[in-house]
Chain A
Amino acid sequence: MRKLLPIILVSFAAFLFLIRLFYLQVLDESFDEVSTNISVRKVYDYPQRGYIYDRNGKLMVGNQPAYDVMAVPQEVKDFDTLELASLLKLTPERLKIQLEKAWRYSPRLSSVITPQLTKKEYAVLQERMHKYQGFYIQKRSLRDYTINHSANILGYIAEVGDREISQNSYYQSGDLKGKQGVEEQYEEALRGERGVKHYLRDIHNKNIKPFKEGKFDTLPKKGSDLHLTIDAELQAYGEKLMKGKRGGIVAIEPSSGEILSLITAPSYDPDILVGRKRSKNFTELYYDTIHKPLYNRALQAIYAPGSPFKALTGLVALQEEVVGLEESFRCNGGYTYARGVRMGCHNHPSPVQMVTGIAHSCNSYFAQIYRRTIEKYDTPQKGIDVWRGHMASFGLGDYLGYDLPVGRAGLLPNSDYYNKAYSYPTYNWYASATLSNAIGQGEVLTTPIQLANATAAIANKGWFYRPHIIKSIDDKPVDNEKYTTKQVTTIDKEHFEPIIQGMHDVYNYGTATFLRVPGIEVCGKTGTSENYVKIDGERMQLTDHSIFIAFAPKDNPKIALAVFVENGYWGSRYAGRISTLMIEKYLKDNIERKDLENWILSHTLEDEYAKPYSGEPFKINQ
């Protein structure tokens, strides 16, 4: 049977091969993907990022070309290191390090050797680059700012990090992505959609031809242009007024909830985060823990609201029917509400009623009607929760849902909060324990945008739209229901009349008579808020924050705003002046009260801010 050997061998071989081939080709499907990874190269086509305009169509952010010098390490031939280094404005050592880094990343993929040259630098390089094999210049698109303000609203763009790449499959190493502000919030609209072309490549990494006749290729989709609700001129003016101060201004159009300006100070010129200087400048901004220029005080800083809160206290008392408009209260420079505990008040005509109470900002009046509000109910717990419900309907204690990526909820305490604080039920607590809330000096904490929004709700007599910064995307007006649905407060319309009258009288005979805007009926409320810091573990009081809320005109209001100036002392001193200038600027476009403007422009609070860092004892409220 020796004849059978060839038959056995051939049958065995053929059978073995067919099984192995069937396994490789039919059963194991993993090779398809591997094959694509090896032989198909994707070439991306990045569309222009969308432009950003202000509410009046003024261009704020455009694009500019930038040029990266790239290298494919394995294609780099011997070259004059010194010459190229001087051409690229690098030290020869740096150039060597960059090339070594590129080798480690990949010998056959390109790496950035030096990023973001300007057009001028590019022009010089372009003629000489051909001498250096393996190097080439890659064009990219960077932001081009036509303005030098609004940095915190706009945000910036930067290369995506490893974490973002792993979280969002759209992004790849080297992609630029919006960070902070509008750039982050509207990233998807602004970036558009990159296009991709698939090429078959060969073992030498050269493109041979389109993969499958371009079946999988996509065209880039241009980024959408945004129109913001921001008034660029008002914004620029506000930032100018806030020079040398810390704090925030938020101005809202009450009829729409559109944010007219949103200013945080100190800020920076957005242009310094573009191009080669970006990383150095960003580091400086990031580590400036004294000025915190990247911290958006208009959205993130929480302050005790101070006296402007009295307007809301009044509204709630009227709604709860615990006080009549005609009812007078005496003020003897304060209000004693428990044995030996007294809330002080400043010097003003007495007695006061609702309207005059607001105009004169009488602490005693609001403390008493607040107490009545809480004590109207069987328990202080129930009273606080009813009060909180009214306050919450103005958007306090809540993130508000505006379209910017940062924010704070602030604090609007409820009964649980006080139960915990006073160890209820072991100990009882009463309305008097929360009395400071009446004048915005208790547990309540608000952000500037919350207070501006509440001001808009007062101006509208009981309703508001959520504040937002987007006006239209590609000329399509914003249709997000979040911003087109009217939010209604729990206060009836008629109760707003006396409050608004009181706020108007602030200018007529109250705390801000010198801040009247000629020809415009303005309503406002001053505020002065005590504040403390810890220095070396010791709680120290600093100069009061200067706060002001206002809206104008009184009838059919066009602008409502809240101004916080940290350590600016009393309300009308800094915040009041700034608010009246902002109103004049927005409604009349030019400033007639040059002396007022000059006062603000020539006064800074840097000395005040230096005090806690001086290491020496200091005096406050000077």
Chain B
Amino acid sequence: MPKTLLQIDWLTILIVIILMGFGWVNIYSTTFVNPDESIFDLSKIYGKQLLWIILGVVIAIIVLALESKFFERFASIIYIAAILSLIGLFIFGKTIAGQTAWYSFGSFSIQPAEFMKTAVALALAKYISEINNDLSTFVSQLKAFAIIGIPLALIMLQPDAGSALIYLAFVIPLYREGLPQAYLSVGFLSVAIFVITLKFGFGIFAPFFVAVLIIIYLFNRKRKPRFWIYALTLLFSLGFSYSVNFILNSVLLPHQKERFDVILGETNDIRGSAFNLYQSEVAIGSGGWLGKGWLKGSQTQGRFVPEQHTDYIFSTVGEEWGFLGTSAVVLLFAILILRLFHLAERQKSQFSRVYGYSVLSVIFVHFFVNIAMVIGLFPTVGIPLPFFSYGGSGLWGFLILVLVFLKLDAKRKSLD
């Protein structure tokens, strides 16, 4: 055990502790009523979060105490158990705000989807590291996508599109391990087409895209271009662009469509669909360089930003700690992810590396989507900021996710 402690990556631990601590400070600011009350008051949000953090330390110790081989060996079982817990929701789950995502134990609830990410990461790592699997083959790709797709589909059924979106993060480790470039290209192209069409419409996108493609085709003399790739790209792009409106109006739910309208500036209903974002931007924007000071943010203290202790916690940082606070949080996350990247790349076992890549990818997508949403760069998606937002399941889920990797990392030499 002491040896493990020495080998643990303390920089990651330190950043996680800072994020949890600063997160709690901000949760306190958004939820306190009377400053004289005990911070351990379990009837209060901040009191509960403090309890989750303390229990989180216990969980962390348990995870670190486990044999590192355990995770690889039991990856499949953990995955199956997690899948069953998601299925079980439809029978035993509790429905909160239209989503059947929780198991309820008295006054506490647990959200299995938060632990599912660790399970998927383990299963994916295990599957890819098996010797006969090669991601350049279509069968392997299909199986890998199935590992990701099953929980994704189950979560979509809850329905919780936001949490499901996170599973796209696992494309990053797959790519690292040899998933063909085409998947990523098609992915980026799709996103680009979707955004451009939304913003400018099919009528402008189509001629523009055709022109760009022709120019590339004519000037690309280095390699003999394969004409059918161009034709396929063109067909796919125009078809996709043409169906964007259909997706928006028929596939997306009305509230999801509204969120797109808000972010594209097509609606400015600051009392209705744009209320959250408007209040969030006002809170952040009024923070200035140094912020209004802890417990002194007028928007925060007036409780104007909905869900401020959970998904919109970053707006509290913006208002009370200013640009200094927000840039510090952004940089902390960037350092954390890059540190995890560094750790993942130094793994000797493929299992550990794929797992590490999964961890950093999941944290990155959470970080990116959450902050982009809060500052008005992404449509509203209800996912938490890792280690920062209020919520026991989320906090423990991320702690387990990271600590399993730190345990693997600490034992990397013995895994040779």
- B284 near A24 with CB under 8 A, answer yes
Is A211 an interface residue when CB atoms closer than 8 A count as contact?
yes
Please pick, from A7, A20, A25, the residue contacting B338 in the complex, using a CB distance under 8 A.
A7
- B176 near A17 with CB under 8 A, answer no
Is B322 an interface residue when CB atoms closer than 8 A count as contact?
yes
Is B153 an interface residue when CB atoms closer than 8 A count as contact?
no
Assign chain A's interface to a size class: 35 or more
Task: Give B366 Cβ to nearest chain A Cβ, in Å.
Answer: 11
A6-B172, A24-B281 as given contacts; A200 in contact with B302, CB under 8 Å? yes
- Contact residues in B for A9 (Cβ distance below 8 Å): 172, 364, 368
- Contact residues in A for B333 (Cβ distance below 8 Å): 14
Which of A114-122, A201-209, A233-241 makes up part of the contact surface? Answer: A201-209
Question: A9 CA to B284 CA in the complex, in Å?
Answer: 24
- A14 near B281 with CB under 8 A, answer no
Query: Considering only CB atoms, which chain B residue lies closest to A6 in the complex?
Result: B341
Task: Give B342 Cβ to nearest chain A Cβ, in Å.
Answer: 10
Is B241 an interface residue when CB atoms closer than 8 A count as contact?
no
Please pick, from B279, B298, B326, B375, the residue contacting A40 in the complex, using a CB distance under 8 A.
B298
- Residues of chain A from 2 to 41 with CB closer than 8 A to chain B in the complex: 2-3, 5-7, 9-11, 13-14, 16-18, 20-22, 24-26, 28, 30-32, 34-36, 38-40
Is B175 an interface residue when CB atoms closer than 8 A count as contact?
yes
- B298 near A35 with CB under 8 A, answer yes
Question: A436 CA to B338 CA in the complex, in Å?
Answer: 105
- Contact residues in B for A202 (Cβ distance below 8 Å): 301-304
- Contact residues in A for B371 (Cβ distance below 8 Å): 17
Please pick, from A22, A31, A211, the residue contacting B282 in the complex, using a CB distance under 8 A.
A31
Question: A208 CA to B296 CA in the complex, in Å?
Answer: 12
- Contact residues in B for A7 (Cβ distance below 8 Å): 338, 341
Interface string of B257-296 (1 = CB under 8 A from A): 0000000000000000000000101111111110000000
Query: Considering only CB atoms, which chain A residue lies closest to B336 in the complex?
Result: A10
- Contact residues in A for B288 (Cβ distance below 8 Å): 25-26, 32
A20-B375, A21-B326 as given contacts; A6 in contact with B302, CB under 8 Å? no
Question: A35 CA to B287 CA in the complex, in Å?
Answer: 10
Please pick, from B283, B284, B289, B364, the residue contacting A13 in the complex, using a CB distance under 8 A.
B364
Task: Give B369 Cβ to nearest chain A Cβ, in Å.
Answer: 10
Please pick, from B304, B334, B345, B367, the residue contacting A38 in the complex, using a CB distance under 8 A.
B304
- A2 near B175 with CB under 8 A, answer yes
- Residues of chain B from 123 to 156 with CB closer than 8 A to chain A in the complex: none
- Contact residues in B for A200 (Cβ distance below 8 Å): 298, 301-302
- Contact residues in A for B299 (Cβ distance below 8 Å): 35, 38-39
A3-B176, A25-B284 as given contacts; A39 in contact with B318, CB under 8 Å? no
- Residues of chain A from 199 to 229 with CB closer than 8 A to chain B in the complex: 200-204, 208, 211
Question: A10 CA to B340 CA in the complex, in Å?
Answer: 12
Question: A17 CA to B378 CA in the complex, in Å?
Answer: 12
Query: Most A CB atoms within 10 A — which of B282, B330, B334, B345?
Result: B282
Question: A9 CA to B333 CA in the complex, in Å?
Answer: 12
Please pick, from B287, B302, B334, the residue contacting A14 in the complex, using a CB distance under 8 A.
B334
Question: A22 CA to B175 CA in the complex, in Å?
Answer: 33
Task: Give A23 Cβ to nearest chain B Cβ, in Å.
Answer: 9
- Contact residues in B for A34 (Cβ distance below 8 Å): 282, 285-286
Query: Most B CB atoms within 10 A — which of A11, A13, A20, A204?
Result: A13
Is B327 an interface residue when CB atoms closer than 8 A count as contact?
yes
- Contact residues in B for A35 (Cβ distance below 8 Å): 282-283, 285-286, 298-299, 319
- Contact residues in A for B282 (Cβ distance below 8 Å): 31, 34-35, 38
Query: Considering only CB atoms, which chain B residue lies closest to A212 in the complex?
Result: B296
Is B81 an interface residue when CB atoms closer than 8 A count as contact?
no
A5-B176, A25-B284 as given contacts; A39 in contact with B302, CB under 8 Å? yes
- Contact residues in A for B330 (Cβ distance below 8 Å): 14, 17-18, 21
Is B337 an interface residue when CB atoms closer than 8 A count as contact?
yes
Question: A10 CA to B172 CA in the complex, in Å?
Answer: 12
Query: Considering only CB atoms, which chain A residue lies closest to B305 in the complex?
Result: A203
Question: A25 CA to B297 CA in the complex, in Å?
Answer: 14
Query: Considering only CB atoms, which chain A residue lies closest to B368 in the complex?
Result: A13
Is B360 an interface residue when CB atoms closer than 8 A count as contact?
yes
Task: Give B357 Cβ to nearest chain A Cβ, in Å.
Answer: 8
Is B372 an interface residue when CB atoms closer than 8 A count as contact?
yes
- A36 near B281 with CB under 8 A, answer no
Question: A26 CA to B283 CA in the complex, in Å?
Answer: 13
Question: A537 CA to B314 CA in the complex, in Å?
Answer: 79
Question: A11 CA to B172 CA in the complex, in Å?
Answer: 15
Please pick, from B172, B287, B322, the residue contacting A5 in the complex, using a CB distance under 8 A.
B172
Question: A399 CA to B278 CA in the complex, in Å?
Answer: 56
- B322 near A25 with CB under 8 A, answer yes
Interface string of B323-360 (1 = CB under 8 A from A): 10011001101100110010001000000000001001
Question: A16 CA to B284 CA in the complex, in Å?
Answer: 16
Is B158 an interface residue when CB atoms closer than 8 A count as contact?
no
Is B118 an interface residue when CB atoms closer than 8 A count as contact?
no
- A5 near B175 with CB under 8 A, answer yes
Query: Considering only CB atoms, which chain B residue lies closest to A32 in the complex?
Result: B286
Question: A22 CA to B326 CA in the complex, in Å?
Answer: 9
Question: A9 CA to B326 CA in the complex, in Å?
Answer: 19
- Contact residues in A for B372 (Cβ distance below 8 Å): 13, 16-17
- Contact residues in A for B285 (Cβ distance below 8 Å): 24-25, 28, 30-32, 34-35
- Contact residues in A for B338 (Cβ distance below 8 Å): 6-7, 10
Query: Considering only CB atoms, which chain B residue lies closest to A22 in the complex?
Result: B323
- Contact residues in B for A208 (Cβ distance below 8 Å): 301-302
Question: A202 CA to B326 CA in the complex, in Å?
Answer: 24
- B326 near A25 with CB under 8 A, answer yes
Task: Give A188 Cβ to nearest chain B Cβ, in Å.
Answer: 33
Query: Most B CB atoms within 10 A — which of A6, A14, A39?
Result: A6
Question: A36 CA to B287 CA in the complex, in Å?
Answer: 12
Query: Considering only CB atoms, which chain A residue lies closest to B304 in the complex?
Result: A203
Query: Considering only CB atoms, which chain A residue lies closest to B179 in the complex?
Result: A2
Question: A211 CA to B326 CA in the complex, in Å?
Answer: 24
Question: A438 CA to B377 CA in the complex, in Å?
Answer: 86
Question: A18 CA to B326 CA in the complex, in Å?
Answer: 8
Is B380 an interface residue when CB atoms closer than 8 A count as contact?
no
A14-B331, A25-B289, A25-B322 as given contacts; A20 in contact with B302, CB under 8 Å? no
Query: Most B CB atoms within 10 A — which of A11, A21, A39?
Result: A21
- Contact residues in B for A11 (Cβ distance below 8 Å): 334
Question: A200 CA to B357 CA in the complex, in Å?
Answer: 46
Is B111 an interface residue when CB atoms closer than 8 A count as contact?
no
Question: A108 CA to B360 CA in the complex, in Å?
Answer: 47
- B298 near A203 with CB under 8 A, answer no
Question: A136 CA to B371 CA in the complex, in Å?
Answer: 44
Task: Give A489 Cβ to nearest chain B Cβ, in Å.
Answer: 65
Is B361 an interface residue when CB atoms closer than 8 A count as contact?
yes
Task: Give B153 Cβ to nearest chain A Cβ, in Å.
Answer: 25
Task: Give A189 Cβ to nearest chain B Cβ, in Å.
Answer: 36
- Contact residues in B for A203 (Cβ distance below 8 Å): 302-304
Question: A211 CA to B327 CA in the complex, in Å?
Answer: 27
Question: A3 CA to B177 CA in the complex, in Å?
Answer: 9
- Contact residues in B for A28 (Cβ distance below 8 Å): 285
Please pick, from A16, A17, A25, A36, the residue contacting B298 in the complex, using a CB distance under 8 A.
A36
Task: Give B191 Cβ to nearest chain A Cβ, in Å.
Answer: 13
- Contact residues in B for A38 (Cβ distance below 8 Å): 279, 282, 298-299, 302, 304
Task: Give A112 Cβ to nearest chain B Cβ, in Å.
Answer: 24
Question: A489 CA to B301 CA in the complex, in Å?
Answer: 70
- Residues of chain B from 203 to 259 with CB closer than 8 A to chain A in the complex: none
Question: A24 CA to B330 CA in the complex, in Å?
Answer: 15
Q: Could you show 20 A-B contacts with beta carbons less than 8 Å apart?
A: A2-B176, A3-B345, A14-B331, A16-B372, A16-B377, A17-B371, A17-B372, A20-B375, A21-B327, A21-B375, A32-B285, A34-B285, A35-B282, A38-B279, A38-B298, A39-B298, A39-B302, A200-B301, A200-B302, A202-B304
13 additional A-B residue pairs with CB within 8 Å, beyond A16-B377, A25-B284: A3-B176, A5-B175, A17-B371, A21-B318, A21-B326, A22-B323, A24-B285, A32-B286, A32-B288, A34-B286, A35-B286, A39-B301, A202-B304
Q: Which 3 A-B pairs have the closest CB atoms?
A: A31-B285, A35-B286, A39-B298
